[in-house]
Each structure stands twice: as C-alpha cells, then as structure tokens.
Chains A and B, each alone.
Chain A
C-alpha cells in the first residue's frame, strides 16, 4: 500500500518533470535551492512577522523530499515565477495532482463541506492532518497519520471544545473519551495494531458527519455494520435480534451499538454501564422499567448497586428476541437456565416468578392483583380510622391535660 503510494508520487513527479525539460523557451522553474536561498534562513520573516523558514533537513526527511519532489510540485503557482521575492499570498497546494483518489474522497467529507460553506471554517484539509513540509508516510512511527498516532492528530481539533463543541461533552460521545476507552487503551497503551483508531470507524479521507450525512459509516443505520466489521459474531447476533431486524426495516428508534456502549467511551461493560443500561432500555420500554423498579432487582439497582440483575442479564445484550420466540432467553425454553445464571439450583417454579409483575393487571396475575387491592384498602382503612381517631383525640387530650392540671393544682397531670 505504502509502496504503491510512493510509486504514484514518483510517477507523477517524473511525468511533470519531463515536459519542463523538453520545453526550452518557457522560463525555468525555480529549483529547490532557489527557494531555499531565502527560506533556509531561520530569521527570515514575512511582513506580518511570521517565519517563512523551511528546514531543509526536515523536508529532505519527508516522504516528498525523499522522493525528490521539488517545491514547485506542490506550490504550482510559483512554477513559472521569475520575479523574486514572490508575492506572499500563495494558493494552497493542490494535492490532487498526485493524490487524486484521496482528494476525491476528501471532497465528499464533512470537512470539505464545512470549508466550502464557510471560508473561515476550521475544518481540516490535507495539511491539518498530514503536515506540510514534514509529511511522513503513515507507516513511519513518527507520522501524524500513523495508525497509533492518528487519535492525537484528530484530537488536536476534536479534543478542543473551542473548535469542536461536542468535545466538551461528558456522555461518552466526546472524542477525548476514546483515550480511556477499551479501544484507546488497546491502541495507545497496549500497542495493538488490530485496535481501532478514529479512522477505523469514521473513515480516512471520506469522513462524513453522522448527524448530517446518512452515508456516514457511523450514521445510525450503519453503526452495527461498522462495529461489526471487527465484532462480526456480535453483529450476527444483533442482526437477527428484534432490534437488528427492526433496524433493517428502517426503524431507527431501536438501539444500535453506540446507544449502550457509547460512541467513544467504549468499555468492557463495567458496573456503571450495567446500571446505565436500565435508563437506556427504559427510554423505550418505560412500563417494563417501572414494573422492574417494584422488584428487589429494581430497588437494589436503583440504590446504585449493580450486583443484581439488570436488563441484559436476563434479556441478553445482543440476542434479544420477543418472549414468545424460542430463541428468547426469557422464553419458556430458556427461562429457567437464565434464572439459574444467578440463582443456581433454582427449580421450575422459581422461574415462574414474574420479574415485571404488575399488581394493577388482573389478567397477568389474579392473586397479585387481589392482594394489592386488599393491601390498599387495609392501609387506607387503618390510617383513615386512626387518622380521624388521633385528630379528634388530640384537642380533647389538650383539654384533659388542662383539667388534670387544675385537679392536681400544680399543673401536673399525674
């Protein structure tokens, strides 16, 4: 891949050099030495005081320098200049001369669209990610676009809330949380080349906005396939689940990977996530969450302890099917085994317990409905009677105390 790209560069360079040599009458393009005549001086400055220094060694060490590219291969608007010093304002180098495919891909990206929309946009173009005179091939460990360095490169903008507003979030959608995610740790701490970096999910040049561009690899309908490009077994499970089937039918309200795992703060299901899942599932299955909250599981988890069953413990994370489906973990076939995961030795009657019982639903359980009704009237009856009893007794008791005080003549009722 890398070698091929270098080949393209060299070929393009040779092609562009040949006609220059042949056409004698046209003015000779300035050589690199001509340019460095001025730009080699570290103290040389533009009118606004900014440095125009180009480090000869750095350029020589870059992928372009090593390939023998000349300054005017990129700064094409100087190729015919004879009058030096040249005007300060130059056109941005157009990389498409050599890197046509990449620039074509980039043109479809949100970065390009944002730049096209606003001339002051800070959206990245080639040099923002690749560098300028110091571009290294991405197989170079020091390259900005090296597999292991890419997150730091993207984070220069996407970790800064001033440039990228969502960077200031704290819900796991903020890119910076990648560093502490299982992916980020695998990549940056463990140095796993199979670990994903930003581009694995978002693409390289053709990075589309997940919110604004339905073709984005991380737009809602495409998230499972993108994650599944590595987690293929999970994708198989998800795709055949009720959620996956619904998503395939175009129902985007079903959960996709990132709803439970978050976009960037992905971790190996820690305690927090086991509790957070309740809110997540409950955002659609609100009546199930409500009935769950009436049970011991629901009460303990509500107190903040994750040691009891939460949604996925019974319903599984990815292979969720309607309870009537034979594949369902809570269906008649698998229900007991599901209970036994936490309650070893539980019998068939144990599994008849309803973890989502609704005391107001007579059809679901008559005995529970009747008991709830009885308890309701017992409580109402007791408190109504003794409430009135006490309310009447209190003023009479105040009076009795006064009378007793008079009787004893010393203010003491005894």
Chain B
C-alpha cells in the first residue's frame, strides 16, 4: 500500500467536526481509560505472569488501587462535563437537534436500515449507505460509554465504599458488583481495543490513524465520500462556509498520529494479553 495520509494532511477544503473541548475530553477519556485498564486488568488476570509484572510495574496493588481510583474520578469528570454540555445545549440553548435528526446521537430507524445496508454492502449486495453525521457504529460506541459509566462506575463506587453501601445494599450485591465490574471492564477494554480501534483507525480506509478526533477537522472531500447525506445537507443548508476550518498544520497532524498510535499500541498490547489469557 502506498503512503496513506501519514506524511501530511490532504489538500483541499477542510471542515470542523469536533470542537476543542470535545477533542480534549476524548484525550482525557482515552488516558483515563488506558490508566484504568492498566491498573485493573492485572487483578482480573492475577494468575498470569504479565499481570504480576504489570502490577509490580505500577508499584504494587495499593499503588495500582490508588491510581485506579484517580483515573476513575478523572473519567467521571469527563463524563459529567460532557453531560453538562449536553444539558446546556438542550435546556439553555434550546437546541433540540441533539434529541432527534441527523445531528443527534439518539438511535433512529435510519440507523437500523443503514446498518443492514452496510452489511449488504460488505458482501457486495448493495451500495454503501449514504451515512449522515453520525453512523450507527459511532452511536454504539457513544452509548456504550454511557452504559459502561453506569455499570462499571456504579459497581466501582460500591466496591470503593463497601461500608457505606452495605448500610443500604444487601451483602450479595457486592458479589454482583464485583462480577459486573470485571465482566463489563472486559467487555469495554476488549471492545475499545479491537472493535473501536478497527472502526475508527485500523480499517484499511483509515489505516493507520483517523486524526479527526485529535485535529478536530477533516477534508470536505472525505465528508462527501463517506457521509454523503451530511455533505448534501451541508450544501443544501449552505452551512459549509459556517464550519469551514483551516487544514491542520503538519505539526498538528503529526501530533494526532503520535498520540493516536501510542494509544492504539498500548491498547492492542493489553487486548492481546487479555485475549490470550481468555483463550488459553
């Protein structure tokens, strides 16, 4: 394969997809997620040599436990910041487009038909669906975080403060909390480190990295090819100029690649160890 987008940003017009705060939230979310995986997975696979090594690397189980809680707080903050942004858009700005329509993350009938159409396209039974701003797999990723925050976050706090929660919760809820915290963590890490990485970065059309989440902008041409419904909507509504953005500088572009590649490599390493441990 020829060099594909690693050296410099593509030429042509660029449009903004993610604003600065969204990009920063993604970086912090990504860091805290990796941190949580690093300090939590050794417990789940404690019988493995790599788990013992990783646990010692972060300074033993007490240090790992401390870091795990710090990363957890950071992730909760990211979640709350995002949630408050959405609340502000909805209640203060009266922006109801986040509830339904192409600008909304809420699953809609078109997501189901696009998903089926996409699968038909995979096997050569149809044209690629004309995706809009958010695709069904992006929405799945997005809501998976909400589900994960509720399940892992909730069970995590129960396990963090057992004496407090045991005043109201029956004893076997702690067994449930422990079980779902581990199982859901397994689901989240393996999903992010394989499926999300493939969808977002590693599939041949994007390989080795889609930098849009780091630079915030993408070529208008890419919108036209990959999200034709959004492109046509932007043209029809005359909004292209509104979201036009300067092309990322080579420096920004490189930074996006470096950060993204490091995160992907760390994630893939953890995923390999996990999958190997699960299968052997």
Contacts and interface: CB of A to CB of B under 8 A. Distances in A.
Given A349-B166, A365-B172, A413-B4, A379 B46 contact: no
A101 interface: no
Nearest to B174: A353
B161 to A, nearest CB: 11
Interface stretch (B26-34, B96-104, B185-193, B237-245): B185-193
Interface in A359-410: 359, 365, 367-368, 371-372, 375-376, 378-379, 382-383, 386, 389-390, 392-398, 400-401, 404-405
Nearest to A355: B175
A299 B46 contact: yes
B256 to A, nearest CB: 14
Contacts of A396: 121-124
A168 to B, nearest CB: 27
A414 B5 contact: yes
Interface string A165-188: 000000000000000000000000
A272 interface: no
Contacts of A350: 162-163, 166, 171, 174
A245 B170 CA distance: 36
Nearest to A410: B2
Contacts of B137: 389
Interface string B180-202: 10011011001100110011000
Interface in A302-331: 302-305, 307
B10 A414 contact: yes
B42 interface: yes
Given A305-B61, A343-B163, A379-B183, A349 B170 contact: yes
B47 interface: yes
A305 B60 contact: yes
Given A349-B171, A386-B191, A386-B195, A371 B203 contact: no
Contacts of B60: 305
Given A303-B42, A353-B174, A411-B2, A404 B225 contact: yes
B179 A414 contact: no
B169 interface: yes
Nearest to B54: A303
Which secondary structure dominates chain A's binding surface?
Answer: helix
A347 interface: yes
Contact of A368 (B167, B172, B187, B195): B172
A227 interface: no
Given A305-B60, A394-B204, A401-B204, A347 B187 contact: no
B52 A375 contact: no
B170 A352 contact: yes
A336 to B, nearest CB: 11
Contact of B179 (A371, A393, A401): A371
B163 A375 contact: no
Q: Which of A293, A347, A411, A413 gathers the greatest number of chain B CB atoms within 10 Å?
A: A413
Nearest to A386: B195
A66 interface: no
B196 to A, nearest CB: 9
Nearest to B12: A414
Interface residues of B, number: 58
Contact of A372 (B172, B179, B190, B195): B179
Interface in B192-231: 194-195, 198-199, 203-205, 219, 221-222, 225
B77 interface: no
B5 A299 contact: no
A351 interface: yes
A412 B187 contact: no
B186 A379 contact: yes
Contacts of A389: 119, 137, 195
Contacts of A393: 118, 122, 198, 203
A394 B203 contact: yes
Contacts of A379: 183, 186-187
A259 interface: no
Q: Which of A293, A345, A390 gathers the greatest number of chain B CB atoms within 10 Å?
A: A390
B55 interface: yes
A397 B163 contact: no
A359 B47 contact: no
B170 A299 contact: no
B183 A375 contact: yes
Nearest to B162: A350
A390 B195 contact: yes
Contact of A303 (B46, B122, B172, B180): B46
Interface of A: 293-296, 298-300, 302-305, 307, 343, 345-347, 349-354, 357, 359, 365, 367-368, 371-372, 375-376, 378-379, 382-383, 386, 389-390, 392-398, 400-401, 404-405, 411-414
18 contacts: A296-B178, A302-B47, A303-B51, A303-B52, A305-B61, A347-B167, A349-B167, A368-B175, A371-B176, A379-B186, A382-B191, A392-B119, A393-B122, A396-B124, A404-B225, A411-B2, A412-B10, A414-B10
Given A305-B60, A401-B205, 14 more contacts: A293-B46, A294-B178, A303-B55, A349-B169, A353-B171, A354-B175, A357-B172, A368-B179, A375-B184, A375-B187, A376-B183, A379-B183, A411-B2, A411-B3
Can you list the 3 inter-chain pairs with the closest CB atoms, starting with the nearest? Answer: A352-B171, A411-B2, A302-B46
